[in-house]
Amino acid sequence: MLCEKWGLSNSEYDRYLFLKESIRRVHSTNLDPVTTLGIKARNDAERRRYAELWVKQEYERTQKELKFQREVDAAWKRLMPNILPVNKGNAAGIAHDSGGRLALFVREADCQRCDAQQSNVLTDELHDVI
């Protein structure tokens, strides 16, 4: 059953279904059962239980994704040894792809020089579109 997939009892899953059709339906339509129950926990103990359950599930999901990404990285090196999987841009930190998208890489938050560079790049890109 779905409740077992999420590590929930039948009554917890029923409560999730009820909450999903109530106010949560408007605020966040695609929340998973554990997150929904955690947000709508009735007390600190419930909130703690759902938070711990969420962390365990997120850890497992992340480990699976990281294992797959490592395999993708290895496959890239085997199949495309002379091509970088990501274009990291030129010395100015600007990368263009053939689809018209732009990526600007900066090193720091709250960096006036970085903000100015971003503004210049966006201005240049806007002129290219017009």
User: DSSP assignment of 7-44, as one string?
Assistant: T--HHHHHHHHHHHHTTHHHH-TT--HHHHHHHT-SSH
Are 8 and 64 found together in one domain? Answer: yes
Are 37 and 64 found together in one domain? Answer: yes
The pLDDT assigned to 130 comes to 45
Contact 104, 93 (CB under 8 A): yes
Mean pLDDT of the chain: 81
**Ranked by mean pLDDT, which of 52-56, 94-98, 112-116 comes out on top?**
52-56
Burial class (CB in 10 A: 0-12, 13-18, 19+), 37: buried
Are 7 and 50 found together in one domain? Answer: yes
Are 98 and 54 found together in one domain? Answer: no
> Of the given ranges (8-12, 21-25, 32-36, 40-44), which has the lowest mean pLDDT?
21-25
The boundaries of the domain holding residue 9 are 2-79
Domains held by the chain: number: 2
**Ranked by mean pLDDT, which of 37-51, 75-89, 93-107 comes out on top?**
37-51
pLDDT above 60 for 53: yes
Mean pLDDT value across residues 14-25: 84
Are 101 and 54 found together in one domain? Answer: no
Does some domain include residue 54? yes
Are 52 and 75 found together in one domain? Answer: yes
Are 33 and 72 found together in one domain? Answer: yes
The pLDDT assigned to 102 comes to 66
Are 52 and 106 found together in one domain? Answer: no
Residue tagged 């395999």 (tokens): 71
The pLDDT assigned to 99 comes to 58
Are 98 and 75 found together in one domain? Answer: no
